[in-house]
Structure 1
Amino acid sequence: MNNTAQYTTIDLLPNELWWGGRAADGRLMPFGAQPFSCDLATWKHEDGQLPEASNQSAPLLVSTCGRYVWCDKPFAFSFDGKHLTVQADHAVTVHGDGDGTLRDAFLAASRNHFPPSGATPAKAMFAKPQYNTWIEMPYRPTQQAVLDYADAMLAADMPPGVLMIDDKWSPDYGTWTFDPATFPDPQEMLRQLHDKGFDVIVWLVPFVSPDSAVFRELEARGLMLRDRHGRTAIRRWWNGLSAVLDLSNPEARQWIRGRLDALCELGVDGFKFDGADLYDFHDDDLPSTPMTSNDMCEQWAAIGVHYPFNEFRACWKMGGQPLAQRLQDKPAAWDEHGIGSLIPEMLAQGMIGQPFVCPDMIGGGEVNSAKHSNVDQEFFVRYAQIAALSPMMQFSTAPSRVLDADHLEAVRKALAIREEYLPTILRLADHAAQTGEPIIRPMAYHFPDMDTVTDQFLLGSDIIVAPCTQRHAVSRRVSIPEGRWRGDDGQVIAGPAVIDTPCPLDRLPRFMREG
């Protein structure tokens, strides 16, 4: 924050807790009881690490007492156990009188600041599994390998779905056409995939390979971002060094739209919009129109609204828009950064206005972590169970390649559970498009006395989903709110209660409110 920022100190009400800010902080939510601070204008955590910290964020905090804080621009905030302090370019107003609920706060903020658009991403993004080529062929997809990947899924009795062709399907970054050396007849490939029942998404970033023909064209037209010296900015990202499209320039945005529309005419159904993280842009850059890093990230997301098949891993604001938001790539780990982060971070996504969420690729999307051999099969199954009743479900590692018969059957059972609940998921997606309400919700969203329960979630208002996230666990603890709830095992529980429920490998515990 700059030196002209103003501080607003807000006294916390008794037992008041808060959600919001950054999705990556979901495992630390709700805030208030313990010291915590962050700055939404930067990508770094307090320790200066984890560049993905602000991959999805919004200038919103909502409280369990019905209050909320919103700024149109990024702000810094901190909790000390008694106060919430907000540092912004102007004095901040706290909305609400403190005599309400978390749901009251969220709906008021949504209505006033990011009203729902009335649209969802393409329904196939929910109705079908998603398959991403990333883990099976990182940086080296080919036409034949993509077709073989689709056939392998079908041969393993996996349903056709939304197939994402990931990094390096094009000859250069910015040259958004299929590489003829590896995709000799992309139109025929797309025809075959469509005939098999797949929709096809391709990956892209707002980067341009230096010295490519496209780079020379765009630099001559003034469409590349300039650094503080006025030279074309060259940035290091996870796959090398590239120039950056100046997303503040309407002509640059129109240029990328033209490339994407041409791919749609070829037969591509949509796009995985990667990159445009806050750290891709610098405060002293010289964009054609003055914009912050957050603004640039928002401009990238705004392009995606034009394409019903879309996916984002980085986003600023854009609450209420029909954008599919996947969590950042996760390690294949039984800890709070791996499988333990999925539920809290998806809940956090919903509470900043992003209802159309997806956990990371099943088994973990960190390419160096989700190994091609020696996959932890139990971990893979438990990950699939979390995804099964999330709004969207995405595979990358082919289950039939890494799982034995018992574990593969457990994954198929998770898919069957999703099929059973699919009408509910689709109804909730439509409801989110009209009201902004998350599809999956914190327990506290409907039950204020359960404000710290974040390892289970509500699918809508009447279904508790309590996946097992502990290695070798045979049971897990579930918090049941007031009312009568029938488990998938037939047990009826009168709440409020805390129970231990069995978690055999093939069970995804869930409880339906009776009446």
Structure 2
Amino acid sequence: MKFTDGHWLMRAGVTPAYPVEVLDAAPTADGLRILAPTYPVRSRQDLQSGAVLTVDLSAPLPGVIGVTLTHHAGGAARSPRFELFGDGHPAAHQEITDTSAALTSGELTVRVSRAAPWRVEFSAGGRVLTSSGENDMAILTTGDGGHHLRERLMLGVGDAVYGLGERFGPLVRNGQVVDIWNADGGTSSEQAYKNIPFFLTNAGYGVFVDHPGLVSFEVGSEDVSRVQFSAQTQSLRYFVIHGTPKEILARYTALTGRPALPPAWSFGLWLSTSFNTDYDEDTVNSFIDGMAERDLPLSVFHFDCFWMRELSWCDFQWDERIFPDPRGMLARLKARGLRVCVWINPYIGQRSPLFEEGMAHGYLLKRPNGDVWQWDLWQPGLAIVDFTNPEAREWYAAKLDALLDLGVDCFKSDFGERIPTDVAYFDGSDPELMHNYYAFLYNRTVFDLLRKRRGERDAVVFARTATTGTQRFPVHWGGDNLSTPQSMAESLRGGLSLTMSGFGFWSHDIGGFEGTPPAWLFKRWIPFGLLSSHSRLHANYSYRVPWAFDEQAVDVLRSFTRLKASLMPYLYQAARVAHTDGVPVMRAMVLEFPDDPACVYLDRQYLLGGDLLVAPVFTEDGTVDYYLPAGEWTHFVTGERVSGPRWVRERHGFDSVPLFVRPGAVVPVGAVDDRPDYDFAEGVTLGVYGLADGATVTTTVPTVDGDVAATFTTTRRGDTVRVEVDHPPATWRVRLAGAEPVDVTGSTVTVHL
């Protein structure tokens, strides 16, 4: 939201009040409290009227400092609030002198100058990271009666801003205006399904604005040298988080919650009925038979909306005109080794028998006058479940629980963005704050049921909407993309933006959701889809079985599905890192190479885990441009070696994609390629790529349940490479780049270069 009219003037109706100096600074139990008048104080008379801003500084975690701005503190507490997690024992140091007040947490220090001009400075390691100066922090009233709190933080020359949720424009947010307000807007506009009030920079810091409602960000836009954020509130808290990009994500997710670890089976290929297509059990069986006949590994089958009767969404009852024996059908699918997913949403159409039930018990959102809130978009007379009501949550979960009893394994938790504000919640929550936060309550209800029924390591959803904290309930997919190369690129940008916002896992609809892609585009999209954390074939009006395009599409899908399965020892360890440390599986280049200027703006390639570079091909003729940072990179499939830093332009057939191993990496590859869930350690091959003399690399191979199966230590000394393992599998192998693999039985092997 813009308040100024250029550099010199305010917009019509806007009245600002800025802190000018420190009147008082005092220690508190967890930090400092500063009183900052918005006018100069020269005598007692000056203290009798005028706005004073209270600034509270706190340290919930090492390397994290909270700043709370408060104008009028007498208002009723507004809910909901984000769930935050401190360590309980923040190591913060307070310092108050005649010239400043400072708080230090880890290496991060915030210092507030006591005298005019007003200045708040964040520094680490003797370097100023960012600052808020004169006329940056503000109380702003508008002509319509609005009361806003605003903060502006300085951007240094070359500072780039990332994150703020799943956004589909350029990865670097500089120059963009971002409103944190969830919307069902597809992937080709400035609207987003997953708006997250958190950004990170390449300048050693990130910022999380702890406000679940509408937060407006002006990222180098209203003032091109500042990141501005504002909200209509009397109190606003933000956290400055210090570190490298990966350290910032680790600290942000420590504060807001780490992703759960999805089950290994969820990393396999998902196939859907699609949405508005015609299907019944015969159609489903024809798809599954077709996959098996063509030797295409399949892990999950998904039933989209029309598993329920039309105009009854959601009643959570199988349409027995189409699926007369759902229990038997699901049993038959599971006998073939498949998991089953079904589509749900938090809406109840008026035709659904659950509408009367929900209305009678007070489980549906109401208007302020007590009427059930309804409209005719999506379903006639649609109502919305009120997840602030504990009994409504139990009621909704019980309907899903019955589906689990039938044999369903997981849910596609769709929708949840178009949440109205002209409503009254059961628990009195503020409707403006609940608009975004509804996504958290909805997905937590679904995920908690799955965790309760299936266990901590076997729960997964396929969710579209999110807010801060929803990263705890994976997986999230990119929503309704188009079947165009432009939308393929949009999808990648959205995924990288989301993973730069604290989300560990992400997927998208291979080939696009809206429309039918030409065969060439579908085949180009397959490698990108399979080299994502999660991989799904799904669409709106057309099927996504590969033989609907051509036989080559079948071959391409087979090749990359099997490649992904063989990479599961590597990928599932990357998933464990996302779960334990908050560093995502799919990583923007700048996340791994923050000191390489060429990586700042790259958004058409990424790292899968820490050691595999992927550059999807977006063109029909196979031309692709990609960048390799410093060192000797090795193509994972062909073994070709290319030295960076350099840009590469080349052409690829449909059966290949730039897929390079990072210099000095050790990549474990499994012995199984027809399923994602197997014994990752047994028969594993350790690929050793360009290990420097004297270097040691530790490689963890997980179990299928997410524990540690074996830890390999690889060391190079001159022309020999020695590999040791603590819990040796019966058989394993070592393969130096460009050489044949060496079979090993036992705990140690030495290989000569």
TM over 0.5: yes
Contact 1:60 1:71 in 2 (8 A): yes
The equivalent residue for 2:663 is 514
Cα distance in 2 between the residues matched to 1:211 and 1:398: 31
* Correspondence for 1:502 among 630, 648, 651: 651
> Where does residue 82 of structure 2 map in the other structure?
none
Q: Quick one: distance in 2 between partners of 1:470 and 1:50?
A: 19
Return closer, same or farther for 1:300/1:160 CA change in 2, 3 Å cut-off.
Answer: same
116, 136, 152: which is aligned to 2:290? 152
Q: 1:139 to 1:217 in 2, by over 3 A?
A: farther
Pick aligned residue for 1:344 from 472, 486, 493: 493
- Shift in Å, 1:179: 2.0
- CA distance in 2 between partners of 1:144 and 1:463 (Å): 40
SS at match of 2:217: strand
Shift in Å at residue 43 of structure 1?
Answer: 3.0
Aligned to 1:121: 262
Matches within 5 A, 1:21-100: 21-23=164-166, 25-32=167-174, 35-41=175-181, 43=183, 53-74=191-212, 75-79=215-219, 80=221, 81-88=224-231, 89=233, 90-93=235-238, 95-96=240-241, 100=243
**Please, which of 523, 537, 556 is the counterpart of residue 381 of structure 1?**
523
Shift of 1:151: 1.9
Q: Is 1:324 aligned to 2:462, yes or no?
A: no
Give distance in 2, aligned partners of 1:52 and 1:295: 20
**Residue in structure 2 matching 1:447, options 593, 606, 620:** 593
2:326 aligned to which of 163, 186, 189: 186
In the TM superposition, residue 490 of structure 1 has moved relative to its aligned partner by 2.7
- CA offsets per residue over residues 205-251 of structure 1, 9 Å max, x none? 11112143321111111111113443211134445551111222221
Task: Measure the CA separation in 2 of the matches of 1:382 and 1:285.
Answer: 46
Question: What is residue 405 of structure 1 aligned with on the other side?
Answer: 551
**Distance (Å, rounded) in 2 between the aligned partners of 1:161 and 1:386:** 18
Larger Rg: 2
Matches within 5 A, 1:355-394: 355-360=504-509, 362-366=510-514, 369-370=515-516, 375-394=517-536
Gaps of 5+ in 1: none
* Aligned ranges 1:437-476 → 2 under 5 Å: 437-448=583-594, 449=596, 450-473=599-622, 475-476=623-624
1:103 corresponds, among 230, 242, 246, to 246
Q: Is the 8 A contact 1:139 1:166 kept in 2?
A: no
| Alpha-carbon distance in structure 2 between the residues aligned to 1:228 and 1:38 | 30
**Against the structure 1 CA distance between its residues 147 and 199, is the aligned structure 2 distance closer, same or farther, given a 3 Å change threshold?**
same
Contact 1:276–1:296 (CA<8 Å) still a contact in 2?
yes
1:481 to 2:623 alignment: no
Deviation at 1:416, TM superposition (A): 2.7
Whether 1:298 aligns to 2:440 is yes
Distance across 2 between alignment mates of 1:245 and 1:52: 28
Q: Give me the identity figure in percent.
A: 23
Corresponding residue for residue 12 of structure 1: 155
Residue type of the alignment partner of 1:479: Y
| Residue equivalent to 1:424 | 570
* Shift of residue 147, structure 1, vs aligned partner: 2.6
Cα-to-partner distance string for 1:257-307 (whole Å, 9 max, x where unaligned) = 101111111211111111111x2x222211212142112121111123222
| Cα distance in 2 for residues equivalent to 1:96 and 1:311 | 29
Q: For residues 151-198 of structure 1, give each alpha carbon's deviation from its aligned partner in whole angstroms, at most 9, with x where no partner exists.
A: 222223211311111102123223212122222111110111001111
Q: 1:122, 1:262 → 2: CA distance?
A: 21
Deviations 1:97-146 (A, max 9, x none): 6xx432232222222x22325x31222111x20111115xx265423332
Q: Distance in 1 between matches of 2:165 and 2:376?
A: 23
Q: Is the 8 A contact 1:459 1:465 kept in 2?
A: yes
- The answer (yes or no) to whether the contact 2:274–2:544 under 8 Å persists in 1 is no
| Amino acid in the other structure paired with 1:82 | S
C-alpha separation between the residues in 1 aligned to 2:189 and 2:348?
Answer: 21
Q: Counterpart of 2:206 in structure 1: which amino acid?
A: Y
Give, in whole Å, the separation in 1 of the partners of 2:189 and 2:349. Answer: 22
The 3-state SS of whatever aligns with 1:235 is: coil
Q: Whole-Å Cα distance in 2 between the matches of residues 282 and 410 of structure 1?
A: 44
Give how far 1:320 is off. 4.4
For the 8 Å contact 2:258–2:582, the answer to whether it is kept is yes
Moved more, 339-348 or 208-217: 208-217
Q: Distance in 2 between matches of 1:486 and 1:61?
A: 33
Q: Which amino acid aligns with 1:27?
A: G
Residue pair 2:211, 2:237 contacting (<8 A) in 1 also = no
| Corresponding residue of 1:165 | 303
Give the stretch that moved more between structures: 147-156 or 86-95: 86-95
| Cα separation, 2, equivalents of 1:325 and 1:59 | 17
Looking at both structures, which has the greater relative contact order when contacts are Cα pairs under 8 Å and sequence separation is at least 6?
1
Separation of aligned partners in 1, 2:545 and 2:518: 12
> Is the contact between residue 210 and residue 239 of structure 2 (CA under 8 Å) also seen in structure 1?
no
The residue type paired with residue 397 of structure 2 is R
User: Is the CA contact (8 Å cut-off) linking 2:184 and 2:193 kept in structure 1?
Assistant: no
**Deviation at residue 49 of structure 1 after TM alignment:** 11
Name the TM-score, length of structure 2 as normaliser.
0.62
CA distance in 2, matches of 1:440, 1:497: 22
CA distance in 2, matches of 1:240, 1:348: 35
Measured in 2, the distance between the counterparts of 1:44 and 1:210 equals: 21
Q: Is the 8 A contact 1:44 1:50 kept in 2?
A: no
